[in-house]
Copies of this chain bind each other. A is one copy, B any other.
Amino acid sequence: MDARAASAAPRAGRAATMTSLRGAADPEAEVGPELRRLLAEREASALTHGDEFALLWRLAGEQIADGKMLRPRMLLRLHAALSDRPDPAVSSRCSDSAAPRTVLQLACAIELLHFAFLLHDDVIDGDLQRRHAPNLIARLQDQHPAPARGTNAAARHWGCTGAILMGDLLLTEVHRIFALADLPAAVRTRMLRLLHSTISTTVAGELTDTALSDGVIADEPETVLRMTAEKTAAYSFALPLRLAVILAGRGEDLETVLATVSRALGLAYQVQDDALAMFGDGRSHGKDPCSDLREGKRTTLVAHARRTGAWEDIAPRFGAADLTEAEADAMRDRFRACGAEEFAHRLVAQQLARARAGIADAARAGLLPPPARAVLDDVVGLIDGRAS
């Protein structure tokens, strides 16, 4: 099925807050409807392969539509901010910025990639909860006909299988949208290479994360730091920001700057996420507050605690699948007492300062027009002020 065929799909009726993407009222407001349309199409065509296949698409679609769409929004905002004055040096090759509809479809693809990673991550981590609610594994498990499905092995297997396979389908969907994007060949190739290296880097980060948790490699601070940056920065920051540059017809020098800025942003975001998972309010963070401790996740906080006297008390029950909530509370106190929370906050502040410096340098070098700089400053501010 061709996503382009539906270019006359009704637009969302919400008020326009940005107008620089020519022809589109409010591209950010269109991400949700566009994703829902795409997923409804997939669900409808899935029916030819059985009800259970269509159900899988429906459940996944419900969860995807519920997302915050941060990554697509970042792409759309930066693209809009960069599209007003294309770089004359590049405009001979890429004569203009990409059409709004193509950019919107690619923005949707970025959200699908995020969800595909979440699905395989949840299978690997054995998680059943995401964004305050049962994740796809848990939802599928709930659909199983077994009487005690919450603890039934077949029901759990069904949930994990669905999540593995839906991850494969979404990954394919992402590649489909990128490969069939209506763009000049040179632009599409540049964009495809970015996608492929993004996936490779993210998967490498996920593998290292597991290698650390499973005791395959030692948790040297630099390994934990590399893993933390790889599993988040590449797909959550570098991909949307660099894609905006490519689609706006801008040069590779700006991409290089944004790759460096993105690493700092990704590191800050992920360290903050690990700190919130450990010390934050589980109700607002949306993840089971014991899950990282039960999995024995080797975050930068853990790498810090390992190098203090507190580790002796933490180690015996760290990573125990049957860790009680009371034990988790006591463990959290030990992490706090040895300075892990403070260490995380310092690391986040340091990386955000690095990101701000990179943005300021690029602006001084004339690579970032003021509206584009404002978008990036907003992203830094969003991470800086994040509490959940």
Q: Nearest-CB distance from A129 to chain B (Å)?
A: 19
Residue A145 interfacial (CB < 8 Å) = yes
- Specify which chain B residues have a CB less than 8 angstroms from the CB of A204 in the assembled complex: 46, 49-50, 53
Residue A196 interfacial (CB < 8 Å) = yes
Q: Nearest-CB distance from A198 to chain B (Å)?
A: 10
Residue A95 interfacial (CB < 8 Å) = no
Residue A8 interfacial (CB < 8 Å) = no
Assess whether A175 is in contact with B165, with CB atoms less than 8 Å apart.
Answer: no
| Contact-size category for A | 35 or more
- Specify which chain B residues have a CB less than 8 angstroms from the CB of A185 in the assembled complex: 185
- Partner of A179 from B51, B146, B192, B207 at Cβ < 8 Å: B192
Assess whether B164 is in contact with A124, with CB atoms less than 8 Å apart.
Answer: yes
Residue A189 interfacial (CB < 8 Å) = yes
Residue A206 interfacial (CB < 8 Å) = yes
Q: Give the residues from 158 to 207 in chain A that come closer than 8 angstroms, CB to CB, to chain B.
A: 158, 160-162, 164-165, 167-169, 171-172, 175-176, 178-180, 185, 189, 192, 196, 199-201, 203-207
- Interface SS of chain A: helix, strand, loop or mixed? helix
> How many monomers of this chain does the complex have?
2
Q: Give the residues from 24 to 38 in chain A that come closer than 8 angstroms, CB to CB, to chain B.
A: none
Which of A211-219, A259-267, A366-374 sits within the interface? A211-219
Assess whether B167 is in contact with A168, with CB atoms less than 8 Å apart.
Answer: yes
- Specify which chain B residues have a CB less than 8 angstroms from the CB of A200 in the assembled complex: 46, 49, 169, 172
- Specify which chain B residues have a CB less than 8 angstroms from the CB of A50 in the assembled complex: 204, 207-208, 211, 217, 223, 226-227
- Specify which chain B residues have a CB less than 8 angstroms from the CB of A179 in the assembled complex: 175, 178-179, 192
